[in-house]
Amino acid sequence: MNSIPSRAAVLPQELRRRAAEHPDRTLVVFENGSRWSYRETLEEAEQVARALRRIGVGRGDRVLSWLPTGPDALRVWFGVNLLGASLVPLNTAYRGGLLEHSVALSGAEVAVVHVDLIERLRGVDRAQLTDVIVVGGSASLDGLRVHEASVLDEERAAQPDEWPEVMPWDCYAVVLTSGTTGPSKGVVCSYAQLSACADAAFVGNFGAEDRYLVTLPLFHAGGTIGVNAAVVLGGSFVLSSGFRTGDFWEFVRATRPTHVTLLGVMATFLSKQEPSADDREHSLRRVFMIPLSDAATFSERFGVEVVAMYNMTEISIPIVSDPNPAADGTSGRVRAGMEVRLVDEYDMEVSEGTVGELVVRGVDPWTIATEYLGRPEATAAAWRNGWFHTGDAFRRVDGEYFFIDRMGDTIRRRGENISSFEVENEIIAHPSVSEVAIVATPSPEGEDEVLAVIAPAPGRSIDVEELIAFIRPRMAHFMVPRYYRVLDELPKTPTSKVQKHALRATGITRDTIDREDLGIRIRKEQVGHG
């Protein structure tokens, strides 16, 4: 297996090196079955870089990329980085105020935009934008210089271009957070951070014969990590437009990846499909499951290694497990090159087994993000006392780290702290449940009550009394939700995270079921008073 160079791998230089060493090796397989070799990928990126350079983009500039996942999104990313510029990829679901906020935050003067999204730019303040390259068709936009996509495909240079040397501490992208609690923040991510992610997840188990299936979009940090790892380790990747439960295994058999990342809900959807004689007939060898969800059952059924890990946009996978970890629900152990602590609200370390906020720092410089673009107050709040504060609550037991909840999502009920994550894990185990979110809602008695908002699995319905009977033996009495609301689909951010703040704000609705109205009252079981 290959290893990342001792100095952090820098994507533009690595792409050029790999294209020179094995130009005809496949680098990327697209959803329609077409492929680019390393040489072809570099040529496509150079075309974009030349076009952007003619428009005026240079080292240190930022370029908006508002494109669906596919060849254009890939070559624009790589082309921007060849120039020593930074990519600002936008979610294709953005519109209105969120779009306006993101454009202004980016500080970008140049954008590459798919024609289907142009209309959304008409009614918003475009801030400092001056030039837009339209991909996929023709369009006009008052007040901006509009370039057709043909500028990206003009005659190739007769002589090799000279591109700037990009350094590990340079910014490859400003990745926007999901905005679950407020306006999105722009995370300034370096090549060293991207390289550290590849090191943590892929080194030692990924080589020239391996292929990574990209299930997350390229505007998501999780979508870029595997792409970068494939380049620097000399393997390949499959660029899909997104995860679809129904045709996942058929797509895997067609494109033959060996590695994939599955968010917990993706793994749940796959596990809830009817068992098939073909469940093990595929090329996958390793599944990164985030968060870990019944790994042993998944591993046995589909014949894969399951690896747990913990990450967020700002950091570089500080915690990762061995394959098929024995500790149920673990996120893994601290990897080499990272330091972590669990702390209380005063940043004092908590004792073993006590829940605390996870704080992180890298042993090597630049291996976690340095700032939120244009948000010095938010930067100072997150990077205080020399540590990055994740906002996530964990418990450490014998060196294993267990995710408990987002700090703002824990629930206090009748003197007990409840992890929404742990309650959700038990409810999602029910075969009729596709998704669930647990939130606090005010109690008539003054503390929190627990509200479960549930989406049924396809073709299923939710019988609340039967669901309560299912979960009651699986959790402590004080964790069993009092209220139940069934929706076709849970509200999500543009990066597919459940908007719990919206569910909390909505609270109890007319269609919410109170289990006490069903005559189900759950009391503490008396122990030792027989």
Main-chain dihedrals φ then ψ at residue 25, nearest 5 degrees: -70, 140
Q: Are 397 and 414 in a shared domain?
A: no
Q: Are 73 and 31 in a shared domain?
A: yes
Q: Are 162 and 252 in a shared domain?
A: no
Q: Are 40 and 102 in a shared domain?
A: yes
Residue 314 near residue 326, CB atoms below 8 Å: no
Query: In this predicted model, which residue has the larger pLDDT, 530 or 57?
Result: 57
pLDDT band, residue 407 (cuts 50/70/90): confident
Q: Are 265 and 393 in a shared domain?
A: yes
Q: Are 35 and 154 in a shared domain?
A: yes
Closest listed residue to residue 195, CA positions, set 217, 236, 227, 163: 227
Range of lowest pLDDT (160-164, 283-287, 328-332): 160-164
pLDDT at residue 415, as a whole number: 62
Domain with residue 165: its CATH number is 3.40.50.980
Q: Are 396 and 434 in a shared domain?
A: no
pLDDT at residue 229, as a whole number: 96
Main-chain dihedrals φ then ψ at residue 332, nearest 5 degrees: 115, -160
Rounded to an integer, what distance in angstroms lies between the CA atom of residue 132 and that of residue 40?
Answer: 25
Domain with residue 514: its CATH number is 3.30.300.30
For residue 232, tell me if it sits in a domain.
Answer: no
Q: What percent of the chain has pLDDT over 90?
A: 70
Closest listed residue to residue 522, CA positions, set 481, 462, 463: 481
Most trustworthy range by pLDDT among 5-19, 149-163, 249-263: 249-263
For residue 166, tell me if it sits in a domain.
Answer: yes
Query: In this predicted model, which residue has the larger pLDDT, 420 or 201?
Result: 201
For residue 321, tell me if it sits in a domain.
Answer: yes
Q: Are 178 and 57 in a shared domain?
A: yes
Instruction: Indicate if the pLDDT at residue 529 is higher than 90.
Output: no
Q: What percent of the chain has pLDDT over 70?
A: 93
Instruction: Indicate if the pLDDT at residue 6 is higher than 50.
Output: no
For residue 526, tell me if it sits in a domain.
Answer: no
Closest listed residue to residue 403, CA positions, set 342, 475, 309, 330: 330
Looking only at the bridges linking them, the beta strands covering 448-456 and 387-397 are unpaired
Instruction: Indicate if the pLDDT at residue 266 is higher than 90.
Output: no
- What is the rounded average pLDDT for all residues in the chain? 90
What residue numbers bound the domain in which 314 lies? 243-370+387-404
pLDDT at residue 92, as a whole number: 87
For residue 3, tell me if it sits in a domain.
Answer: no
Looking only at the bridges linking them, the beta strands covering 286-290 and 356-362 are unpaired
Our count of domains for the chain comes to 3
Domain with residue 292: its CATH number is 3.40.50.12780
Whether a cis peptide bond, with omega within 30° of 0, leads into 291 is: yes
Mean pLDDT, rounded, for 202-225: 93
Q: Are 262 and 342 in a shared domain?
A: yes
- The tokens describing 493, both together, are 């951010």
Return the bridge partners of 308, or none.
289
How many distinct helices (H) and strands (E) make up the chain? 14, 27
- Going by C-beta distance under 8 Å and a sequence separation of 6 or more, which residues neighbour residue 124? 96, 97, 99, 100, 103
pLDDT at residue 160, as a whole number: 66
Could you tell me the sign of the dihedral formed by the alpha carbons of 281, 284, 286, 291, in that order? Answer: negative
Instruction: Indicate if the pLDDT at residue 112 is higher than 70.
Output: yes
Task: List pLDDT tens digits, range 433-469.
Answer: 999 999 999 876 566 899 999 999 988 999 999 999 9
For residue 236, tell me if it sits in a domain.
Answer: no
pTM: 0.84
Domain stops at, among 163, 190, 217? 190
Residue 18 near residue 28, CB atoms below 8 Å: no
- Going by C-beta distance under 8 Å and a sequence separation of 6 or more, which residues neighbour residue 486? 453, 454, 455, 456, 462, 464, 511
Q: Are 161 and 302 in a shared domain?
A: no
pLDDT at residue 514, as a whole number: 95
Q: What is the DSSP string of 217-281?
A: -TTSHHHHHHHHHHHHHT-EEEE-S---TTTHHHHHHHH--SEEEEEHHHHHHHHTSPP-TTTT-
Instruction: Indicate if the pLDDT at residue 5 is higher than 50.
Output: no
Domain stops at, among 190, 205, 224? 190
Query: In this predicted model, which residue has the larger pLDDT, 143 or 108?
Result: 108
For residue 180, tell me if it sits in a domain.
Answer: yes
Task: List pLDDT tens digits, range 81-99.
Answer: 999 999 999 988 888 888 8
Query: In this predicted model, which residue has the larger pLDDT, 225 or 329?
Result: 225
Residue 59 near residue 103, CB atoms below 8 Å: no
Q: Are 288 and 178 in a shared domain?
A: no
Q: Are 318 and 174 in a shared domain?
A: no
Rounded to an integer, what distance in angstroms lies between the CA atom of residue 301 and that of residue 267?
Answer: 12
pLDDT band, residue 495 (cuts 50/70/90): low
Query: In this predicted model, which residue has the larger pLDDT, 477 or 37?
Result: 37
Mean pLDDT, rounded, for 372-388: 95
- The tokens describing 436, both together, are 């669930």
Range of lowest pLDDT (26-30, 63-67, 154-158, 259-263): 154-158
- The tokens describing 318, both together, are 């500080």
